[in-house]
Structure 1
Amino acid sequence: MLVDYGGQSMAFCTTCGAQQTSDHEAFCPSCGNRHTAAAGQQPPSWGVVPPPPPPPAAPPTMMPPAMQQPPSMPPPGMSPPGLAPAGWQPPVSGSGGGKGTWLRVGGIVGLVLAISAVGIVGWRVFSPHGGAGSPEDAVENLMNAAADQDPVGVLDMVSPAEIEGMDDVYDAARERAKDEDLVDGDGVTDAVELEFSDLSFDVDELSDDIARVTLDGGRYKVSWDPAKLPDRLDFLKDESTGESESGDIADLFYDEQPSVMTVKVDGRWYVSLIGTSADYTYRSAEREADYSDYDLASPDWDLAAADVDPITGDTPEDVIANLVDAVNSGKSEQLLANLPEDLVKPLRPYVPVIDELQREGGWAEGEIGLSVSADDLDLSTEDLDDDLVKVVIESGTFTGTAFEEGYDNDTGSLAVEGDCVDVFEEDYLGDSGCASDIPIVKDLGLTDLFFVVAKVDDGYQLDPGATLVEYASTAIDGLSSDVVEKILDELRDEVEGDGDYYDY
């Protein structure tokens, strides 16, 4: 395009607006697109997309000097060098677009990817992970994840304090299973298919942080096709045939509607395995109390949100001593304060129930209780990740006495020496044995008796969840190919005859 500046003709690229260095240029040195003919000139026979009409003059705006248009800029309607003009569109096929077009398209793609990356990073960092927005969604998501054979999805719906670290255990277990050709596909096994439909729930919000979710209705469909098992499990293919079944979920639970307890953690709802177990235990005791005409105390659901100062120990020996003191105090609240706060949250509502049973004896004739002691302890420690410490009991004696008013006390003790344990009842030896004498325990490397403590404030607490994870991790580390083959041989013998290596 030719523009007259005071009698001097100057040419500008109609695609990017850059000034031409010569009237005879065929391609723009800035963007690489072919120049269109100047006004009055015939365009080349191959043609190009005509430039868009100049936009209407914009109203004056206040801009900082650095953003104001310099005198050397093209006139209104033209774009500064390196920027596409207003209304620009990429040339159609055959229009002769050069490297500038592809650079510009690449820039747009790069911008889209950058925006997407920022969105993904923001979602990973700021969006809540795990849990659900409501109690019923947490339960439904867990059920569907189980049906989809998505263990990570299941773990995402369980209270984090109860399963922290189990995702790593699952990943390690799955990798070992893949190495041993024991799994196919993305799920746990293609041989089982499970589907839930028409799910409905009844929610009883017991407090701001605790809710019981009861399954009101729903259907299931499950199928078993042993032909889809991995070849290494062929002994199962020969012993079973394909089956399928469907029906109402309620029919699987006879006269009782299934329910689970959920807890709110950091604004998200999760299924609590500990809370569900406690709820079933309490409701079973409630039915027994009704039968025995005993007035059982009710849980105080608001205690789930109670702010309790943790009880910690400076050393592993102190942790054990604190637990001993808590048991001997007879105060369940003190015992719970020795354990991770989020873990025992769903148990706190039952503190009044337990304390009353202990004081009054419940169905017993008088006060009941338990006293314990830990003596001659020899402990060794190993630092783990995430402020965790593994504590191995090299030796020690643990004694417990159960008492009930009006009856003789029952006393027993357990003596640990290495991987061997002697159990005493009153004045005689009740039982004894060594972990290394049990083939499966020895093969999996589970011969140490240990627990795991977690860093809390300026001290340590027993962490039952981390202890379970460490035992599971140890077992997976012990799953060598030889051990896997022994386990499969034993399973094969159990299916086809009698196994004698591992005693299940």
Structure 2
Amino acid sequence: MSYPGSGGPWQPNDPNQPGSGPVPAQPQQPGYPQQGAYPQSGGFPQQPGYQQPAGYEQGYGYGAAPPAPKKKGKGPIIGSIAAVLVIAVGVAATVFMLNRGGDDPAGEASPTEAATNLVNSLSQGDVLGVLESLTPAESALMVDFNAKSTERLKELNIYKDDADPNKLHGATIEAKNLKYDEAAAEKVNDHLTITKLVGGTVGVRTDMTELPFTEEFLDAAFPDGVMAKESTNEEVDIADVVKETGEPVRIATVNVDGEWYPSLFYTVADYALLEADKEWPAESIANNGADDAEGAVREMVEASIGADVERIIELLPPDEMGALHDAGPALLEEMGTPPAAEGVEITTLETEVTDAESGGQKVLLSNLELTVEGETVKVSRDGDCYTVEAQGRTQPMCADDLSTEMGDSTMSPEMQQALTNLASGMMKNTGVVVTEFDGKWYVSPLRTYTELGLSAISELTAEDVFALIEAQ
């Protein structure tokens, strides 16, 4: 299958999805680009009692509303409607993402049909239809991770054994009499068209009590019960929103192999450009990957140190991150020339490669040596321990050490063990995920982030989860 010269995601997060949300702060992989440097995908299981990592903004993982233009104070309204219509509410309300198998996603003959198919699937509570309506790259990003995390949450006694990832839980969505202004559709290029929704109604009902948590988890996490205020019931008239904001609801659609698909990530990019009062650039940033997985990581590190944003975008997967390739020139114009990290040079970067749970290859750090303003710094990894040598001193950091830093002297032995297991999973398995496309290798920030989520819970037990809850 071929993709447009670019085609892919910014992956939103679901603030209402129990499989996503706050996660513990994580140790930065030495020598690798900071997590906050890239668009991030959320959606991995909530670790009770911890906060979002620095640089992570709630609302930009699976299912969050794309940023809406701030006109006449109605940004939140149009944002919520756009969320419903580009799977944001559909996936936001979905507790699990479907582990889709079998046929490839089926596209539509026109951009309007593609957008309508998505909305109809949402209204029917058809998670399969929702995922199959998205671009193949976007579906692939969601499916494997959510299948694995759903099963893991069952093992941790957070989800019930009969929790069904094929069903829409905790929400009912109903769209009626949708109307598009086809004459106003914006054809950006040969593979991207922005459709305009101008009429109809969208109703959304959410109910926390319908989410498939186990009784044990609910009793521990919500000792006072799930409050009724966690449920909502709202209907919005799209024509009223258009009248009040002066903007139709925009849904980006992408042509892949001659068929049209609504794209969550292109829609987010479209709203970001609209917010910045910029148009889609006439030219895209080229796809220019590395010859192998380790080379992609090395080149990404070097580009990050040199603040070479264009090279960073070139090294992002064209199927997953096509929206950023297409919008990249506008981003570069907005950023100007950021300063490089002066006096920093990598002299040694040794890595090992394993299969990533989230798909692709995971590149793990073995040894790193760099000079920083004339000083040599060495970092090495052995299992769940890192050793840093600098200025004549050697400092080891293992899972036990990190768990002590995360907790305090008053924590129980059970809490100490839970934090140690959490830290061990991250420190053993944290790496950069790289994928192959047309014979070249690209760094996938979205798969890297979801891989981090799987790593964070890889060593946890059900007893650990409840120890973390009880400590709050």
TM-score after normalising by structure 1:
0.52
Supply the distance in 2 between the matched residues of 1:392 and 1:220 (Cα, whole angstroms).
46
Which residue is equivalent to 1:451? 432
Which residue is equivalent to 1:285? 276
The superposition leaves residues 89-113 of structure 1 with CA deviations (integer Å, 9 ceiling, x where unpaired) of: xxxxxxxxxxxxxxxxxxxxxxxxx
Question: What's the offset of the Cα at 1:176?
Answer: 4.5
TM-score after normalising by structure 2:
0.55
Which residue is equivalent to 2:172? 193
The question of 1:137 aligning with 2:117 is answered: no
The question of 1:467 aligning with 2:458 is answered: no
Structure 2 letter corresponding to 1:452: V
Q: Compared with structure 1, are the counterparts of its residues 390 and 352 closer, same or farther at alpha carbon in structure 2 (3 Å cutoff)?
A: closer
Supply the distance in 1 between the matched residues of 2:358 and 2:145 (Cα, whole angstroms).
15
Question: What's the offset of the Cα at 1:168?
Answer: 2.2
Structure 1 letter corresponding to 2:200: G
Q: Compared with structure 1, are the counterparts of its residues 239 and 157 closer, same or farther at alpha carbon in structure 2 (3 Å cutoff)?
A: same
Higher RCO (CA 8 Å, separation ≥ 6 residues): 2
The question of 1:244 aligning with 2:233 is answered: yes
- 3-state SS of the aligned residue for 1:132? coil
The superposition leaves residues 401-436 of structure 1 with CA deviations (integer Å, 9 ceiling, x where unpaired) of: 9xxxxxxxxxxxx9966579999xxxxxxxx99764
The superposition leaves residues 212-241 of structure 1 with CA deviations (integer Å, 9 ceiling, x where unpaired) of: 123312212233456655561464755227
Which residue is equivalent to 1:350? 327
Of 305, 310, 326, which aligns to 2:288? 310
Q: Compared with structure 1, are the counterparts of its residues 207 and 382 closer, same or farther at alpha carbon in structure 2 (3 Å cutoff)?
A: same
Question: What's the offset of the Cα at 1:451?
Answer: 0.6
The question of 1:259 aligning with 2:232 is answered: no
The question of 1:213 aligning with 2:195 is answered: yes
- 3-state SS of the aligned residue for 1:393? strand
The question of 1:337 aligning with 2:318 is answered: no
CA RMSD of aligned residues (A): 4.5
1:411-490 alignment runs, 5 A limit: 436=403, 437-438=405-406, 442-443=421-422, 445-447=425-427, 448-456=429-437, 460-475=441-456, 477-478=458-459, 480-486=461-467, 489=469
- For structure 1, the residue ranges without an aligned partner over 5 or more in a row are 1-123, 287-295, 362-366, 402-413, 424-431, 491-499
- 3-state SS of the aligned residue for 1:342? coil
Contact 1:148/1:187, CA 8 A, preserved across alignment: no
Supply the distance in 1 between the matched residues of 2:165 and 2:331 (Cα, whole angstroms).
45
Of 348, 359, 377, which aligns to 2:349? 377
Which residue is equivalent to 1:99? none
Question: What's the offset of the Cα at 1:159?
Answer: 2.8
Contact 1:313/1:322, CA 8 A, preserved across alignment: no
- 3-state SS of the aligned residue for 2:274? helix
Q: Compared with structure 1, are the counterparts of its residues 240 and 267 closer, same or farther at alpha carbon in structure 2 (3 Å cutoff)?
A: same
Which residue is equivalent to 2:57? none
Structure 1 letter corresponding to 2:296: V
Contact 1:299/1:351, CA 8 A, preserved across alignment: no
Question: What's the offset of the Cα at 1:310?
Answer: 2.8
The superposition leaves residues 123-169 of structure 1 with CA deviations (integer Å, 9 ceiling, x where unpaired) of: x99x7524333223333333343444444433323333344242122
Which residue is equivalent to 2:58? none
The superposition leaves residues 3-58 of structure 1 with CA deviations (integer Å, 9 ceiling, x where unpaired) of: xxxxxxxxxxxxxxxxxxxxxxxxxxxxxxxxxxxxxxxxxxxxxxxxxxxxxxxx
Question: What's the offset of the Cα at 1:209?
Answer: 0.4
Which residue is equivalent to 1:388? 360
The question of 1:322 aligning with 2:299 is answered: yes
- Range moving further from structure 2, 450-459 or 244-253: 244-253
- 3-state SS of the aligned residue for 2:321? helix
Q: Compared with structure 1, are the counterparts of its residues 250 and 185 closer, same or farther at alpha carbon in structure 2 (3 Å cutoff)?
A: farther
Q: Compared with structure 1, are the counterparts of its residues 310 and 481 closer, same or farther at alpha carbon in structure 2 (3 Å cutoff)?
A: same
Larger-Rg structure: 1
Supply the distance in 2 between the matched residues of 1:369 and 1:450 (Cα, whole angstroms).
26
- Matched length: 327
- 3-state SS of the aligned residue for 2:228? coil
Structure 2 letter corresponding to 1:336: I
Contact 1:131/1:157, CA 8 A, preserved across alignment: yes
Structure 2 letter corresponding to 1:380: E
Which residue is equivalent to 2:148? 172
Supply the distance in 1 between the matched residues of 2:297 and 2:164 (Cα, whole angstroms).
45
Q: Compared with structure 1, are the counterparts of its residues 399 and 458 closer, same or farther at alpha carbon in structure 2 (3 Å cutoff)?
A: farther
Which residue is equivalent to 2:394? none
Structure 1 letter corresponding to 2:180: F
- 3-state SS of the aligned residue for 1:278? helix
Supply the distance in 2 between the matched residues of 1:328 and 1:227 (Cα, whole angstroms).
48
- Range moving further from structure 2, 185-194 or 149-158: 185-194
Question: What's the offset of the Cα at 1:263?
Answer: 1.7
Contact 1:198/1:217, CA 8 A, preserved across alignment: yes
Structure 2 letter corresponding to 1:449: T
